[in-house]
């Protein structure tokens, strides 16, 4: 196996990356190799889909499969080799069926490369070929920079696929997005070596991701209403209980519907905390608040939860024996031996909740306030603009993205501590849990901590920044705004590419820089976008405020 797609990749020798028997995330070498083959097969499907589309032939099942299959290969999503092997074979079946359908109208030449992949009959034979499909295949010929750029595009596209999946399961899709996904993956299937061309492809992925985040925003708000400032209980109440983790609002809604009037309280975990601010979800009286913290604390959180736990998307880590029997996966998520919910039927979860003890008493109440999506912030835009003009708000710090277990992530807590009282912090993604346990006060009634939501709500942040730039008649890069982006996995890679595609400069990226960015690529990104590595938090804040560190 070789994998260096996430921030927790291993640095045990000169070659940064997980390349022993198991990655830091718990992904074993069999699953990792099968995921490489799956990506190869999906690229081949995209090659055929791209060419068939040019002939006017499309297939929604193919489009859905592409983003679903890519989603299973994100960090902390699917660790089940049986499922990944099935997906490889399904990709080839779909590809051949689509090619046949397209050829009925006009001959469809099979493109070279992944489109001609034929999986051997057994998993063992498949794995014997895996080295040829790994992300570093061909490195000796093309060099580290080309490999680094190819995976930058691939990992960005994985993030795009995940966000698009969340939109499509709510019934929101767009043919232009399906077409662009197939086009970019098809380009990637040709193993491009041109560095400027690959950089442009990476920015294309970022531009595509903006459209996908916009669609997901429309899907979430169109289905569940616009998030509104909401005080959320962070401690449990007595009663039977279900914990729902991940990012999928649709799965949470289905569980809420199924448990209505059943005497079961439903709690969010991790990246589902922002769900408590959506009107149609918080209208359920048994949505009882949030339990626990970000994904990396799930061993403690899930072990302490006296009911079933549902993982609707990333970030799953190896379940411990103490709770493995009461955890369920849904959608793209999987772990061998863990019960998987099929077809959105969560009744086994409800049965488990009824059989388990639940909380025996109310815990002392603790709360946090969330729900400052763009409409809430822009609703007080006049007050915000006045506060900036009067100097009451000196600067905004966007502290956005993923959380993780690495000690370097204290950086984000330290940024919040170092940010002076006349600054406002905008959070999104599960990195918020580093900051939201503290009361940061307000500036003339405007809370100093405004949580915008999940990581995909970077779209909200972009809209707020654009509106402020319009109000001040300047560019986003001229606003008193510093972006401290905390990356962990491939959704964050997609968001970063979106910010770069918008021409946003001076982003601080951390806690460490991606291992796949070579010194040459970093130099290019620094020169074009002033991309910065995290330094000392207090010094970075002081520099942002124009002070000597
Ligand atoms: S996803 Fe991250 S931790 Fe897991 S194998 Fe890949 S680089 Fe390693
Ligand atoms: S924001 Fe990133 S790290 Fe956090 S739960 Fe979502 S995917 Fe995982």
Mean pLDDT of 139-147: 97
Q: Are residues 426 and 528 in the same domain?
A: yes
Domain boundary among 302, 320, 355: 355
Around ligand 2, the residues with Cβ closer than 6 Å are 247, 270-271, 295, 314-315, 402-403, 429-430, 455, 488-489, 491-492
Ligand in closest contact with the CA of 294: 2
Q: How far is the CA of 271 from the centre of ligand 2 (A)?
A: 7
Whole-number average pLDDT of the chain: 95
Query: Stretch 491-499: mean pLDDT, rounded?
Result: 95
Q: In the chain, how many domains are there? A: 2
Around Cβ 437, how many Cβ atoms within 10 Å? 12
* pTM for this model (two decimals): 0.96
Claim to verify: residue 334 and residue 394 sit in the same structural domain = no
Domain C-terminal end among 301, 326, 355? 355
State the average pLDDT over residues 502-518.
95
Which among 1, 19, 24 is the best mutation to test ligand 1's pocket, defined by most ligand atoms within 8 Å of the CB?
24
The interaxial angle of helices 490-501 and 458-471, nearest 10 deg, is 20
Do 406 and 505 lie in a common domain?
yes
Task: State whether 300 and 407 are in the same domain.
Answer: no
Q: Are 486 and 403 in contact (CB under 8 A)?
A: yes
Pick from 7, 16, 17, 18 the residue to mutate for probing ligand 1's pocket: most ligand atoms within 8 Å of its CB: 18
Contact 403, 434 (CB under 8 A): yes
Give pLDDT, residue 119.
97
The reported pLDDT for the residue numbered 489 is: 94
Say if residue 235 is in the same domain as residue 298. yes
Q: Which helix (H) or strand (E) holds 328?
A: strand 327-329
Do residues 341 and 457 both lie within one domain?
Answer: no
The token pair at 249 is: 């609002």
Ligand 2 pocket check: which of 403, 454, 511 to mutate, most ligand atoms within 8 Å of Cβ? Answer: 403
More confident call, 110 vs 174: 174
**Residue 416 in domain:** yes
Closest protein CA for atom 2 of ligand 2: 402
How much is the pLDDT for 409?
87
Q: What is the pLDDT of residues 226-239, one digit of tens each?
A: 999 999 999 999 99
Domain boundary among 355, 390, 406: 355
**pLDDT, tens only, 411-424:** 999 999 999 999 99
User: CATH number of the domain that 468 lies in?
Assistant: 3.40.50.2030
Residue 75 lies in a domain: no
Is residue 253 in a domain?
Answer: yes
For residue 540, count CB atoms less than 10 angstroms from its CB and return exposed for 0-12, middle for 13-18, buried for 19 or more. buried
The mean pLDDT value for 421-439 works out to: 90
| Farthest-apart Cα atoms in the chain, separation | 70
Average pLDDT score over residue span 193-197: 97
Residue 195's pLDDT is what? Answer: 96
* Domain shared by 484 and 519, yes or no: yes
CA of 353 from ligand 1 middle (Å) equals 33
Note whether residue 203 is domain-resident. Answer: no
Q: Is 315 inside any structural domain?
A: yes
Is the same domain home to 473 and 503?
yes
| pLDDT above 70 (res 105) | no
Per-residue pLDDT tens over the stretch 16-59 = 999 999 999 999 999 999 999 999 999 999 999 999 999 999 99
pLDDT at 548 over 60: no
Identify whether the C-beta of residue 71 lies closer than 8 Å to the C-beta of residue 77. yes
| pLDDT above 90: percentage of residues in the chain | 87
The band of 104, judged by pLDDT with boundaries at 50, 70 and 90, is confident
The yes-or-no verdict on residue 436 having pLDDT over 90 is no
> Does residue 402 surpass a pLDDT of 90?
no
Any domain includes 103: no
pLDDT of residue 78: 98
Give the domain range for residue 255.
230-355
Looking at per-residue confidence, does 109 or 72 come out higher? Answer: 72
Domain-located, residue 440:
yes
Pairing of strands 240-245, 309-311: parallel
């Amino acid at each position: 196996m070789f994998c260096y797609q996430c921030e927790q990749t291993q640095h045990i020798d000169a070659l940064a990356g997980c390349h022993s028997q198991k990655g830091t995330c718990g992904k074993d070498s069999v699953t990792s190799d099968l995921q490489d083959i799956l990506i190869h097969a999906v690229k081949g499907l995209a090659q055929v889909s791209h060419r068939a589309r040019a002939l006017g032939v499309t297939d929604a099942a193919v489009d859905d499969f592409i983003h679903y299959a890519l989603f299973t290969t994100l960090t902390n999503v699917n660790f089940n080799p049986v499922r990944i092997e099935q997906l490889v074979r399904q990709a080839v079946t779909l590809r051949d069926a689509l090619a046949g359908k397209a050829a009925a109208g006009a001959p469809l030449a099979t493109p070279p490369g992944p489109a001609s992949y034929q999986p051997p009959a057994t998993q063992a034979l498949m794995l014997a070929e895996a080295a040829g499909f790994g992300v570093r295949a061909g490195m000796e010929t093309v060099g580290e920079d080309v490999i680094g750029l190819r995976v930058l595009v691939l990992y960005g596209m994985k993030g795009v696929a995940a966000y698009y999946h969340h939109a499509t399961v709510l019934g929101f899709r767009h043919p232009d997005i399906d077409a662009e996904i197939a086009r970019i993956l098809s380009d990637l299937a040709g193993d491009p070596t041109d560095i400027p061309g690959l950089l442009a492809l990476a920015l294309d992925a970022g531009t595509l991701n903006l459209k996908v985040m916009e669609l997901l925003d429309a899907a979430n708000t169109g289905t569940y209403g616009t998030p509104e400032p909401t005080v959320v209980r962070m401690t449990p109440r007595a009663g039977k209980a279900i914990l729902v983790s991940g990012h999928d609002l649709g799965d949470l809604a289905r569980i809420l519907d199924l448990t209505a009037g059943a005497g079961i309280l439903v709690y969010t975990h991790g990246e589902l905390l922002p769900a408590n601010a959506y009107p149609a979800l918080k209208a359920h009286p048994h949505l009882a608040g949030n339990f626990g913290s970000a994904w990396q604390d799930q061993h403690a959180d899930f072990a302490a939860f006296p009911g079933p736990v549902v993982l609707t998307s990333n970030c799953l880590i190896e379940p411990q024996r103490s709770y493995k029997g009461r955890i369920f996966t849904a959608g793209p998520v999987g772990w061998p031996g863990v019960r998987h919910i099929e077809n959105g039927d969560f009744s086994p979860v409800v049965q488990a909740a009824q059989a388990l003890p639940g909380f025996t008493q109310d815990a002392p109440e603790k709360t946090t306030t969330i729900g400052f999506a763009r409409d809430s912030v822009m609703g007080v835009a006049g007050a915000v603009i006045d506060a900036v003009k009067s100097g009451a708000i000196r600067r905004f710090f966007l502290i956005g993205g993923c959380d993780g277990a690495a000690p370097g992530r204290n950086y984000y807590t330290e940024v919040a501590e170092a940010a002076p009282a006349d600054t406002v912090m905008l959070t999104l993604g599960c990195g918020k849990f580093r900051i939201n346990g503290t009361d940061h006060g307000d500036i003339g009634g405007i809370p100093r901590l405004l949580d915008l939501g999940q990581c995909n709500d970077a779209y909200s942040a972009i809209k707020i920044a654009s509106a402020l730039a319009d109000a001040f008649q300047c560019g986003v890069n001229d606003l008193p705004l510093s972006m401290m982006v905390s990356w962990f996995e491939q959704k964050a890679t997609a968001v970063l590419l979106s910010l770069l595609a918008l021409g946003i400069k001076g982003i601080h990226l951390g806690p460490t820089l991606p291992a796949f960015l070579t010194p040459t690529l970093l130099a290019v990104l620094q020169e074009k976008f002033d991309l910065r590595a995290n330094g000392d938090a207090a010094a970075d804040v002081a520099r942002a405020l124009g002070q000597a560190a």
